């Protein structure tokens, strides 16, 4: 039985990139009866960059509703908010004391954020230690993440090894990352990686008209309507082909190559495809967004399951470190 664990920060509403690149593949893994999945909302991590509590509350709801909309089975697995299980922060403190300062100072993600952001706080610096705590608290074996998280996972492993080496026993389970090198990077409406931080994302849960407005903003070249177009370098086509069945993609490819088919037509087709393909998830998402109490119940039940596992690890750590159990 492999224990799979992953988290998504509540720093914005989930977009098509998060869904195709992280949420759907993780849910696929969770369907294997040999796996047990621990998926959580990293709301404490979001505090490093987002200070507005009301917004955070909205984003936590939206992320939870997205996992449910795409069919994550929260009865068989574990699904919770990081901030509600205090053992995350307790373990993070212990791990801080086993983390060499230069490891954090050299982290790509910290360097990148400290150049980009005005607020360079200590939470941003120790972000990878809290992430290590998230993983090690649950004895996770496999952590599916995108390429950008590779270094964070190596750090989690190094921190766990340091604890095991210095405390003198096999207290923490060393996690394996699962980074699929072929994993697609979904392009945003400007052709860069789709990301909350670039404001170039497609929120598939928007009302129909608002969704169309965003899709109309997808960048395209100036080839005239009647001329043939290059499908493979066009963002609308790329997004369409990530979602459409093969025959439909082939048809769209032929339309591009033939000419007489404009980018406006392609965008309209992409809009229709998103509405059709995600009809069910959109319904479930709206349902949970307007039935907060139900969402809350699911999260509270998950917290209890998570806490039961977390307490065992904390008790092992306390005992080993001389804090009593
Ligand atoms: P963002 O860049 O929007 O802030 P996050 O860093 O919160 O996204 O990523 C959450 C998860 O979604 C991660 O596992 C990440 O690898 C995945 N992800 C984010 N953007 C994309 C994308 N454009 N294509 C594929 N996967 C993505
Ligand atoms: N840092 C991850 C991201 O930005 C989110 C995250 C927090 C995470 N804790 C985790 C991912 C533990 C995997 C395991 O995407």
Domains assigned to the chain: 2-185+292-321 (3.40.50.620), 208-277 (1.10.240.10)
CB-defined site of ligand 1, < 6 Å:
8-9, 17-18, 21-22, 145-146, 148, 185-186, 193-197
The mean pLDDT value for 54-81 works out to: 98
Residue 184 confidence (pLDDT): 74
- Look at the pTM and tell me if it is higher than 0.85: yes
Burial of 275 (0-12, 13-18, 19+ CB in 10 A): middle
Ligand 2, atom nearest to 5 Cα: 14
Phi, psi at 259, each rounded to 5°: 90, 170
Q: How far apart are the first and last CA of the chain?
A: 28
Closest residue by Cα to atom 14, ligand 2, is 6
Q: For residues 241 and 186, is the Cβ–Cβ distance under 8 A?
A: no
CA distances from residue 18 to 79, 299, 300 in whole angstroms, order as listed:
17, 20, 24
Q: What is the pLDDT of residues 236-291, one digit of tens each?
A: 999 999 999 999 999 999 999 999 999 999 999 999 999 999 999 999 999 999 99
Residue 2 confidence (pLDDT): 93
Residue 40 alpha carbon to ligand 2 centre in Å = 9
Q: What is the pLDDT of residues 146-189, one digit of tens each?
A: 888 999 999 999 999 999 999 977 899 999 888 776 667 899 99
Mean pLDDT of the chain: 95
Whether residue 1 is predicted with pLDDT greater than 90 in this model: the reply is: no
Q: For residues 33 and 1, is the Cβ–Cβ distance under 8 A?
A: no
Residue 181 confidence (pLDDT): 66
Q: How many CA atoms lie within 13 A of 126 on its CB side?
A: 18
Enumerate residues 6+ apart whose C-beta is below 8 A from 160.
132, 136, 172, 173, 174, 175
Nearest-angstrom CA–CA distance, 79 and 58: 17
């Amino acid at each position: 039985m492999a224990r799979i664990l992953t988290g998504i920060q509540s720093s914005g509403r989930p977009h098509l990139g998060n869904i195709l690149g992280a949420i759907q593949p993780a849910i696929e893994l969770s369907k294997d009866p040999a796996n047990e999945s621990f998926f959580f909302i990293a709301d404490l991590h979001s505090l490093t960059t987002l200070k507005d509590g009301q917004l955070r509350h909205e984003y936590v709801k939206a992320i939870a509703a997205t996992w449910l909309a795409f069919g994550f089975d929260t009865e068989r697995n574990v699904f919770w908010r990081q901030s509600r299980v205090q053992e995350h922060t307790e373990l993070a403190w212990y791990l801080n004391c086993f983390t060499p300062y230069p490891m954090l100072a050299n982290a790509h993600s910290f360097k990148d954020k400290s150049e980009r952001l005005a607020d360079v706080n200590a939470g941003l610096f120790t972000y990878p230690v809290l992430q290590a705590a998230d993983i090690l608290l649950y004895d996770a074996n496999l952590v599916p993440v995108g390429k950008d998280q590779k270094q964070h996972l190596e750090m989690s492993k190094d921190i766990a090894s340091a604890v095991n080496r210095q405390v003198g026993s096999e207290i923490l389970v060393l996690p394996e990352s699962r980074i699929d090198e072929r994993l697609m990077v979904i392009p945003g409406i400007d052709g860069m990686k789709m990301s909350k931080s670039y404001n170039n994302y497609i929120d598939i849960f928007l009302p129909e008209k608002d969704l169309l407005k965003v899709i109309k903003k997808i960048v395209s070249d100036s080839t005239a309507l009647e001329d043939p177009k290059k499908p493979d370098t066009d963002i609308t086509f790329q997004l369409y082909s990530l979602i459409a069945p093969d025959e439909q993609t082939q048809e769209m490819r032929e339309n591009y190559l033939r000419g007489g088919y404009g980018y406006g037509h392609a965008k309209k087709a992409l809009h229709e495809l998103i509405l059709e393909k995600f009809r069910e998830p959109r319904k479930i998402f709206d349902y949970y967004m307007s039935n907060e109490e139900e969402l809350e119940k699911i999260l509270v039940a998950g917290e209890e399951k998570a806490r039961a596992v977390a307490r065992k690890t904390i008790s092992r750590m306390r005992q080993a470190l001389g804090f009593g159990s």
